[in-house]
Structure 1
């Protein structure tokens, strides 16, 4: 039934043994290894290329429709023009074609060297076209954060062994500064800078330009490729490397992880499988046409799934925001009648708490979801109240990592007899995934209901970090099993409850404190005193390895009325009523204007902790 994956009908996402949503009842069990209630993913050819899954050869395209729309300029890319442009650019990028850029052959894994193209740009309606042209031309690429400083860019260019780069015109000064840092000769990192200035391609907002700063533009290459003849060939994929992800860098400088074609297209299919099954369970037509608000970064694993890996897998129009602007987002939802809102926690919080949301019509939104970082339950309920779904359907939070883009998420209520996965849980394993909960020190499986590190395996799991065997060994203590670094609990229904990052656990007199538990408790104060909270362990001054628990809080209007002394008293009383003594805020409470986060929403607890310690060192005391 392998051929089914090329069927244009939604049935392509159902494998030969897919469970019937009205008949099959998932049975929780006590075995150490547990699997997705949705079963395995559909079978696929062993050498399948991501582009050929999205645009199957010998199948005509569906009727044309707007695929990407720039919310600011209203520029439109239709499905048919997208595909034509992908084909044109792929002819230029192909190493064994006319090859005007003199690109080399890309490596199939990290045992080889070869051509790797960096994509260094903010969200842009032509970014997905470049990515698909790379898939079609078998050119490996690496996505890099447009927020990178010159030093961070220089580091990632080396870690990914980038040999050519597509750079948005506004980021050329950052790239120029990175070049000035040299090749890295003389430092300890064995991977030196191999990118040369002559292999820079510019993504310009002006489609008429052929060059910018003496570099070829993407548009000039598309125009050149459109004049070339197509050379039919069998594309290769499967376990070959497709692209590199930049790790978040929340603990040390970023690393580069490998994603194969097999990893990528399974990530693209997983949630489509769950959506199809949910629609069948509800008795409605699966994969109805949708309109999605586009703000999740395209270089990120979450954005890669939404904007690139699902192209032509469903009828979806993407309304792209070049950058996040709350009122522009609300105007866009109202204007284009957006149906789907993929978000990250800081954006969920803004939409939930801003009075601006009351000014705009959000009645078209049928689904909002959060990913990339932990979403506090109270915020999930706050936004749901402002959307048609109401508080009875709080914003779900999907769970994945750069190393495995999609791992778990809530299931449709009642499907397969599953219990609801409410905020506070990350739901059930997604199709094709297996999991274990393991003691992080003994590496022994723990019993259900006990805390441990989540280990997963499945088709979305990375083969490892690029040219970094030591880092790869750290995340694979056993072959095939990825150590997520997240502390979880598997309950009696086989739902997964996220507790914290293991590295963020605070050790107090030998006992572990989950920072997220204390943060959630602060946010749940009955008087709604706190709008945002960050908790971390700080030095206790005794040198015994034990820490104090400290909180940084952003106040609501109600909290600001109290004054800091009264506020601290009320919050401490609340914490001490709700939590065990070792979780009390012995390190104090500090009021701040905002909590720093990565672009994907991960809280930078380390930054808050380091600032506090630096202040302690210079002043001898800190604000409590």
Structure 2
């Protein structure tokens, strides 16, 4: 399979009447997904969208999102999945930058998109998933009812398939152009590594617009499994869905597992159907992993990936798991190297932390119309600089230390927030923790821990710092602790360290 556009047609031919997608409003078979996405493709063509045009999707998880994604790919469009957390200004930038010609949108955001479209003469249609009466918008229901011949485009494997925008930590976000081959390979290789088949049922709240969510959803559909898709993450509801659907997999980010473990309904939850779970997005404390594995009775398969890789870059195989705390080995056919921090063209000394670099067919083609930014991360030999610091053991297992940009330099020493977070999460009163820098006139920067306590627990700043003292070198310990009610997160549930100091979460304790 060289394109995700063929996932539904091939799966429908094999599993037609089998449930493929379950949401809170509808359950759809493989055949229904295939037919309705054909109609979406035909409807786009009828409104002037042509192969190679960009089609954006701006919505929370829902069945319409999945149908729109596959419909756009079938008629040859390039899909632009948009983060639902973007502001109107950020949305306008993304739609302008990728030269969007059509936008699918959830009803609560339709007015924002219509207003943005007024500044975008290239947008030929705004399709709303909800309200059928909004002036200027096309109803998704009408699009599905339109009597038009289905259109199936046959893209070349190396052609652009998706333009997915990075989080944009500084300046504007960049559009990573992913190829048809890259996405199809990532879905297929991930499904193979995790042992997915047509008996699997996954429960996930990972955003469909995120590469991790895309691979989890489409890798499962490719294998003939059933996806139970949550609109957004809710721990209690996730536990109910696992039991109700006898889920074999749960897939999420570290903060989701920490929240599940702290949920009062966990004690009575039936998790006996789980055969494995996956976790990615950020480094995860060993204690959290151990607690989840003991409670669920299922192995937790770690993974690592990024937007520029169309999804995963490394993970463990289902029946060949490496040490806990490792994100596994490279996907088949993908090269992974730990590069020297002072010269990324050279491999780092064995056992020494360096920058994780990747080469292979899953690597993005470019940042859309941004050759300067592309050249900064992608060299002539095809190696992608990821910005992650990692080590590799003798067996080839990768251990991600932290993000290079998140490193805190205190008194000349390099301090990695993830190391402090792993230690503090082991404290019995702490549910969630994130570490960021605070300016210091002597040391330049010092580490500050932002702590969410478990319900009913209390602990002081001095006690938290003292807890770290027996486990961390003096220069690594947090110098300040702030107790908060929640931590700022992305739409996929990842903690945003860069927003810790200026977040609007309420202070407690």
**TM-score, with normalisation over the residues of structure 2?**
0.92
Relative distance call for 1:361 and 1:611 in structure 2 (3 A) is closer
Equivalent residue in structure 1 for 2:437, among 530, 537, 547 = 537
CA distance in 2, matches of 1:372, 1:600: 8
CA distance in 2, matches of 1:557, 1:105: 53
SS in 2 for 1:239: coil
Where has structure 1 moved over 6 Å in runs of 4 or more?
A: none
8 Å CA contact retained: 1:247, 1:254: yes
Written as runs of structure 1 = structure 2, the 5 A alignment for 1:83-94 is 83-93=34-44
1:64 partnered with 2:17:
yes
8 Å CA contact retained: 2:42, 2:150: yes
SS in 1 for 2:223: coil
SS in 1 for 2:271: coil
1:122 partnered with 2:22:
no
Relative distance call for 1:531 and 1:597 in structure 2 (3 A) is same
8 Å CA contact retained: 1:67, 1:79: yes
Relative distance call for 1:294 and 1:611 in structure 2 (3 A) is closer
Kindly state the Cα deviation for residue 56 of structure 1 after the two structures are TM-superposed: 4.3
Residues 178-214 of structure 1 show CA distances to partners (whole Å, capped at 9, x for unaligned) of: 457xx4xxxxxxxxx4444x5212222x7xx5x6434
Equivalent residue in structure 1 for 2:94, among 150, 156, 166 = 156
- The equivalent of 1:510 in structure 2 is 412
- The equivalent of 1:221 in structure 2 is 143
Kindly state the Cα deviation for residue 250 of structure 1 after the two structures are TM-superposed: 3.8
- The equivalent of 1:398 in structure 2 is 303
**TM-score, with normalisation over the residues of structure 1?**
0.76
Relative distance call for 1:89 and 1:76 in structure 2 (3 A) is same
Written as runs of structure 1 = structure 2, the 5 A alignment for 1:193-592 is 193-196=120-123, 199-204=125-130, 209=132, 212-224=134-146, 227-230=147-150, 235-276=154-195, 287-308=197-218, 310-311=220-221, 313-389=222-298, 393=299, 395-404=300-309, 405-413=311-319, 415=320, 420-443=321-344, 444-525=346-427, 528-542=428-442, 546-556=444-454, 560=458, 562=459, 564=460, 568-586=461-479, 588-592=480-484
After superposing the two structures, state which structure 1 stretch, 506-515 or 325-334, moved more.
325-334
Kindly state the Cα deviation for residue 168 of structure 1 after the two structures are TM-superposed: 1.6
Kindly state the Cα deviation for residue 558 of structure 1 after the two structures are TM-superposed: 7.4
Relative distance call for 1:214 and 1:234 in structure 2 (3 A) is closer
SS in 2 for 1:369: strand
CA distance in 2, matches of 1:591, 1:56: 51
SS in 2 for 1:438: strand
Please say which structure displays the higher CA radius of gyration: 1
8 Å CA contact retained: 2:15, 2:224: no
After superposing the two structures, state which structure 1 stretch, 354-363 or 482-491, moved more.
354-363
Structure 1 unaligned blocks of 5 or more: 6-47, 94-98, 107-114, 184-192, 277-285, 613-621
Kindly state the Cα deviation for residue 456 of structure 1 after the two structures are TM-superposed: 0.6
Kindly state the Cα deviation for residue 451 of structure 1 after the two structures are TM-superposed: 0.5
CA distance in 2, matches of 1:165, 1:412: 38
Residues 304-357 of structure 1 show CA distances to partners (whole Å, capped at 9, x for unaligned) of: 11223553x222122222222222222222222222111122211111121211
Kindly state the Cα deviation for residue 292 of structure 1 after the two structures are TM-superposed: 1.5
Relative distance call for 1:273 and 1:332 in structure 2 (3 A) is closer
Relative distance call for 1:89 and 1:585 in structure 2 (3 A) is closer
- The equivalent of 1:52 in structure 2 is 6
Equivalent residue in structure 2 for 1:597, among 486, 489, 494 = 489
- The equivalent of 2:106 in structure 1 is 168
Which structure has more relative contact order (CA 8 Å, sep 6+)? It is: 1
Relative distance call for 1:291 and 1:105 in structure 2 (3 A) is closer
CA distance in 1, matches of 2:220, 2:456: 44
- The equivalent of 1:279 in structure 2 is none
Residues 160-188 of structure 1 show CA distances to partners (whole Å, capped at 9, x for unaligned) of: 221221112221133245457xx4xxxxx
Kindly state the Cα deviation for residue 601 of structure 1 after the two structures are TM-superposed: 2.9
Give the number of aligned pairs: 505
Larger strand fraction of residues: 2
Structure 2 unaligned blocks of 5 or more: none
- The equivalent of 1:96 in structure 2 is none
CA distance in 2, matches of 1:376, 1:599: 21
Relative distance call for 1:215 and 1:382 in structure 2 (3 A) is same
- The equivalent of 1:608 in structure 2 is 500
8 Å CA contact retained: 1:239, 1:262: yes
CA distance in 1, matches of 2:9, 2:441: 61
